[in-house]
Amino acid sequence: MTQTPAPTVKVECLARRQDQTAPGFRTIPEETPVAFTYGGSTHAVMMATPADLEDFAVGFALTEGLISPGEDPGEVEVVASELGVELRCWLPGDRQRDYAERRRSMAGPTGCGLCGIESLEQACRPAPVLADNALRVSAEALIEAMDRLPSAQHINQETRAVHAAAFWSPASGLLIAREDVGRHNALDKLAGALARQTIPAAQGVVLMTSRISVELVQKAARIGAPVIAAVSAPTALAVRTAQACGMTLVAVMRGRDFEIFTHPHRIIEQASAHVA
C-alpha cells in the first residue's frame, strides 16, 4: 500500500555562503496533487502539502459550501498512490444528492482556489453576512497573537517556504495552526480543524501569514469568522467583500503596527476584550 508522502523532503544543493560554494542540504516542503472526490466524482484537484489531510477535506467542503458549519461533515478516506493523494469523501444525507445536482470540476495550481470556475458570477459570489456578536479584541492581544504565530509554524521552521492559517481566541489564546504551500489550502485545513474540534470560528480571529485575497475573506466568512488578520496587504476586492459581509479586516501587521480596513469596532485599545 502506498504511503502518504511526508510533508517535507531533504534535498541536496550547492550552497553559496560568504563567496564560497560547497555541497549542502535544504529541507523543502513537499507539493503533491490532492484530489477531492464526493461519492466517487472528482470535484477538485489542488496542489498542496500532504499534511493534515482530514482537516483539509472537511474544511474544503465547508468553504466550498458543500456542508454548513456545525453539520455532520460525513466520512473521509485518505488514499495515496504514485500519482498523488485522493480524499474520498461521502457527504451526509441529502447533501450528497444536492452535490450531484450542482457538481462542477475545478483544477488549480498552488494556492489558487478559483481556477476552473465556470462563470464570473461564481468567482464574485457574495460572502455570507456575519452577525455582529460581542467579540472584541484588544490591539495588544492581536499583536501578541501574531507574534506567537511563528513558533506554531513547525513546517515553516524547517523550510521557510509555506503559508500558515491560525485561530486565536480571547479565552484560549492561539489554539490551532495549519500550514501549506497554498494560503487557501492552509485556511481550508484550519476550517476543517475547527469543525472537527467543534470550536466556533465566531469566537476568535483568523490569522494569515499571506496577503488577503477575496477568496480568503469568502472562506473565512463561510465558517463564521468575524475577524481576519494578516501580515501582508489585502486586495481591493477583499476589502469590498469584507465590508459587505460585516468582517473586520486587519492587515499589514508588522511588529506593533497594523492597519484596519473594515469594521474597526471589534479592535479596541483597552485589554478587556471579550466574546459572547
Burial class (CB in 10 A: 0-12, 13-18, 19+), 93: exposed
Catalytic, 124? Answer no
DSSP per-residue codes, 98-133: HHHHT---EEE-TT-SSTT-S-HHHHTPPPPPPP--
How many beta carbons lie within 10 A of that of residue 114, not counting itself? 15
> In DSSP terms, which residues pair with 257 in a beta bridge?
254
Residue 269 burial class via C-beta count within 10 angstroms: exposed 0-12, middle 13-18, buried 19 and up: exposed
β-pairing, 75-81 with 84-90? Answer: antiparallel
Sheet of 257-262: strand order equals 173-180, 163-169, 205-208, 227-230, 248-254, 257-262
- β strands within 150-232, DSSP E: 163-169, 173-180, 205-208, 227-230
CA angle 182, 183, 184 (to 5 degrees): 90
Q: Which of 112, 115, 124, 245 is catalytic?
A: 112
C-alpha torsion sign, points 139, 257, 175, 216: positive
**All cell numbers assigned to 263:** 469594521
Number of Cβ within a 10 Å radius of residue 270: 9
Write down the H helix ranges in 153-196. Answer: 154-159, 183-196
Active site residues: 112
